[in-house]
Amino acid sequence: MTEISTAEARDQFSEIINKAAYGKERMIVTRRGKALAAIIPIEDLRTLEELEDRRDVEDARRILAEAEAKNEKPLSYLKARKELGLA
């Protein structure tokens, strides 16, 4: 994976975006040698989001199965929001 400084990224922004979009290149943006961010093709981002969604569904199913095994009734969405102070 290519590393590029923030200064280089600023100067070459259009070229970097084109490399990611059309050349399917991944780049790490650095500042003083420290990795800060990544520029990736949109397909990579969509794949990552899909994997995260799958993991979330698997976690939810596992939690529900554990609650069911203990004869516990899961909280409703609205009650959970209220308990977390989000409602």
Give the span between the Cα atoms of 20 and 9, in whole angstroms. Answer: 12
Q: Give residue 76's pLDDT.
A: 83
Give the span between the Cα atoms of 21 and 23, in whole angstroms. Answer: 6
Do 74 and 55 have their domain in common?
yes
Do 51 and 68 have their domain in common?
yes
Q: Give residue 64's pLDDT.
A: 86
Do 51 and 31 have their domain in common?
no
Which CATH number covers residue 6? Answer: 3.40.1620.10
The number of distinct structural domains making up the chain is 2
Please give the residue range of the domain that contains residue 75. 44-83
pTM for the predicted model, two decimal places: 0.70
Do 50 and 79 have their domain in common?
yes
Calculate the alpha carbon distances from 32 to 1, 4, 5, 13, 82 in Å.
18, 11, 8, 18, 44
Q: What is the mean pLDDT of residues 74-83?
A: 85
Do 24 and 10 have their domain in common?
yes
Q: Give residue 80's pLDDT.
A: 85
Do 10 and 30 have their domain in common?
yes
Strand, helix or coil at 3? strand
State the pairing for strand pair 27-31/34-39: antiparallel
For 18-70, the pLDDT digits (tens) are: 999 999 999 999 999 999 999 999 999 999 999 999 999 999 899 889 888 99
